[in-house]
Structure 1
Amino acid sequence: MESSKTNDHIKSSWICGIRKKSSFITLENADLIVQQADDYLESLVNDKAFSGSILLARNNQILLIKGYGCSEYGCQEKNTSQTIFRIGSVTKPFTAIMILKLHEKKQLNLNNKLSLYYPDYPHSNQITIKYLLSNTSGIEDYTEMETFERKCQEDLTIDQLIDTFKNEPLKFKPGSKYSYSNSNYILLGLIIEKVTGKSYETNLREFILEPCCMNDTGYECDNNPILNTKHNQRACGYICSTDSNSFDTCRFINMSTVRSAGGIYSTIEDLYRLDRYLYGEKLLNNHTKKIMFKPVKEHYALGWEVERLKHRRIKQQHTGEIFGFYSCLARFPKDNACIIILTNLEGISVHDILDSLTDILFQEK
């Protein structure tokens, strides 16, 4: 079975974050990559500039999978490869995959108008599902509005959340420009529920989590049993104190205010399983994946940022940020490579860390 191979690969290649010698490792400079990456990350931890878990993989082999810093500084509980983090906007690829699966199953069309699912939404007859997926709808990002600092602490239904932005004027003609907006993915979550007649969490589990054996991933907006039974596995979010010598607990956010735009939690091991399954056709067929990873405006495709790097290398990624947490899932399909960064420390630059780890992973011989 495909799922057992994926699980066995993760389990058998690693003991306590140290790469086992194996005939499967073909990179001549694998040890150098691991040493440089580990030294770099440990230096960040010493400078109180990183706390989290990291996975580096290339040529279908995990090179580094390790936790750094603490998941809970009060009791000095260490981060591990199985620590659960909020992943913020890395939720968006999950939402996009579910929409595209419904498109693949002909339960919706990407050119369908929002008015088909939400006729009362202003300008809904001008906005397509594809515009929502590609952040080209022109809808205002509710998390950038002045009211969000207050609203993010409230327990909101999806209709109440949509009411916070539905009457804002469009920023531009739908489809004409790119502008990142969490509001788009809140509406996509609503569409998933209306099309299937099931909750977002149920669809997430049936479409992605169960097929990919992602047992430590879930949707925090619901009373998910994973968080109840694995409380000690969960990271707390922190922010550096003003004197930078200690960490303070981050601001509170009610997860009902982020939902299908940022409400998922996961581990580096589970996100690597998602990466692995995206190479096959169990989640989406190859034609649908070409649609998903094709940029629409600027660098943004359908739920993914796609960037061309040197040496004709393609990077498919999404980053996330939510109070006390930063995240990144970056895929390099030409090299069968992946970098996953999950942190529980607010104020760090996940983009700088990603750039540094990318340079280390793809250093020339």
Structure 2
Amino acid sequence: MNRFLALFLLAFILIQPSVFAQQKILKEAIDRAQTEGFSGVVLVAEDGKILLEDAMGMRTYENRVLLHESDIFELASLSKQFTAMMVMICKEKGLLSFDDQLSKYIETPYPGITIRNLLTHTSGLPDYQAVMNQHWDKSKVAGNPEILEYLRKYKPAKSFEPGDKYEYSNTGYVLLASIVEKATGEDFVELMREWIFKPLAMKNTDIRSLEEKAKVKNFAAGHIKDGNGNYVNANTFQSSDYTIWLGNRKGPGRVSSNAEDLLKWDQALYTEKLVSKKTMEEAYSAFKLNDGTRSYYGFGWEIKPQSPFGKMVMHTGGNPGYSTIIVRYLEENKTIIILNNNAHPDMMRLVEAATLSLGKW
């Protein structure tokens, strides 16, 4: 997916249509996506001002409830940028250092890993979900303490030595949330509400349990096609079961939000409401691997040093039925947010069209 976006950005530099054509491309892409069954919200903004926000599809297919712009979606791995911010706030409060050893906070069978390795996916840690899937009693709900217990108990082999290469790691972000709890003595969920969601007035954003989600009227359910080609709730598929028996995990996912709250978050990152600009610059910096090459994943953000609008940071997310993305062009304060709740293949076409539309309004 990201390689596809990179190729598109190159093409954008070479061929740029007129202003009118740029806007027309986005409108046509939205119309096409809607015709082809895309369900989700598209938001395009510049300098924090919404240029376009559109909702299409269904909040729930079973009840034929239409989707609205304010509806709340599972963000999946977009949650990692919030986890990284919690670590950055801890650092600015003097509670930890990015180059502290993991072993200072959490006992694991994996020595030599720093907090910076966890943030940048350069730790070499094994996949926690694999070991839990193999050994955990799925009639029970696991969280971070149980995940850590099973990593210590079964000691699955690491993939590589810390800093040798980049490999996306949900395990690393579980450990980051646990480090925040260890450093602060507070619950990660409550602290995220106190440190991020409330100060930024992100009233639609939270880490919600299954029971809490059920009480949110405008929560957009994730949907997958059944054998007959009909969209049904993703929770009815066995592939979604892990969201239940790993339902108490913190760090790699589980934040739910809507497009306008994510725009509030996006704009706050240009200020010093949460952390200093110096710390944010570090979050957007490439990691130097042991062999001297660069890995372009910062603290919860994929980094593209060159794009049609200068430096870009972005992240995608995927849960059963959900596909999400935020694209931020830092030098020109341009933003694309797309939240999808039927795992539709048109999402990246919409990202392309939205990028073209940002040329000028």
What SS is found at the alignment partner of 2:331?
Answer: helix
Structure 1 residue aligned with 2:146: 160
- Contact between 1:85 and 1:266, CA under 8 Å: does it hold in 2? yes
**Does 2:280 match 1:289?**
yes
Aligned match for 1:135, one of 121, 124, 127: 121
Aligned match for 2:220, one of 231, 235, 245: 235
Q: How many residues align?
A: 329
**Does 2:265 match 1:265?**
no
Counterpart-to-counterpart distance in 2, 1:190 and 1:337:
33
- Contact between 1:142 and 1:148, CA under 8 Å: does it hold in 2? no
Deviation at 1:169, TM superposition (A): 1.3
**How high is the sequence identity, in percent, across the aligned residues?**
27
Q: Which amino acid aligns with 1:241?
A: D
Once the two structures are superposed, the pairs formed by residues 345-360 of structure 1 within 5 Å of their partners are: 345-346=342-343, 348=345, 350-360=347-357
Root mean square deviation of aligned Cα:
2.5
Once the two structures are superposed, the pairs formed by residues 74-85 of structure 1 within 5 Å of their partners are: 74-85=62-73
Counterpart-to-counterpart distance in 2, 1:197 and 1:242:
48
Structure 1 residue aligned with 2:326: 329
**Does 2:268 match 1:248?**
no
Deviation at 1:128, TM superposition (A): 0.6
What SS is found at the alignment partner of 2:356?
Answer: helix
- Contact between 1:240 and 1:347, CA under 8 Å: does it hold in 2? no
- Contact between 1:56 and 1:64, CA under 8 Å: does it hold in 2? yes
Counterpart-to-counterpart distance in 1, 2:167 and 2:233:
31
Aligned match for 1:343, one of 340, 345, 351: 340
Once the two structures are superposed, the pairs formed by residues 1-365 of structure 1 within 5 Å of their partners are: 29=19, 33-48=22-37, 50-119=38-107, 121-124=108-111, 126-143=112-129, 147=133, 154-166=140-152, 167-221=155-209, 224=212, 227=213, 229=215, 231-244=216-229, 246-250=230-234, 251=237, 252=240, 253-254=243-244, 256=247, 258-296=249-287, 297-311=294-308, 313-346=310-343, 348=345, 350-362=347-359
Between stretches 72-81 and 173-182, larger displacement belongs to: 72-81
- Contact between 2:131 and 2:156, CA under 8 Å: does it hold in 1? no
Please report the TM-score for the alignment, with normalisation by the length of structure 2.
0.84
Unaligned runs of 5+ in 2: 1-17, 288-293
- Contact between 1:165 and 1:183, CA under 8 Å: does it hold in 2? no
Deviation at 1:144, TM superposition (A): 5.7
Asked which structure has the greater RCO (Cα within 8 Å, sep 6+), the reply is 2
Change (3 A) 1:153 1:179: farther
Counterpart-to-counterpart distance in 2, 1:350 and 1:258:
27
- Contact between 2:40 and 2:339, CA under 8 Å: does it hold in 1? yes
What SS is found at the alignment partner of 1:169?
Answer: coil
Deviation at 1:108, TM superposition (A): 0.6
Counterpart-to-counterpart distance in 2, 1:333 and 1:74:
40
Cα deviation code 1:8-58 (max 9, x no counterpart): xxxxxxxxxxxxxxxxxxxx94x765543232122112112x211111012
Unaligned runs of 5+ in 1: 1-27
What SS is found at the alignment partner of 1:353?
Answer: helix
Deviation at 1:333, TM superposition (A): 1.3
Deviation at 1:118, TM superposition (A): 1.2
Change (3 A) 1:331 1:159: same
Counterpart-to-counterpart distance in 2, 1:148 and 1:263:
22
- Contact between 2:81 and 2:301, CA under 8 Å: does it hold in 1? yes
Counterpart-to-counterpart distance in 1, 2:78 and 2:173:
12
Structure 2 residue aligned with 1:17: none
Q: Which amino acid aligns with 1:38?
A: K
Change (3 A) 1:151 1:131: farther
Counterpart-to-counterpart distance in 1, 2:214 and 2:359:
40
- Contact between 1:52 and 1:69, CA under 8 Å: does it hold in 2? yes
Counterpart-to-counterpart distance in 2, 1:351 and 1:151:
37
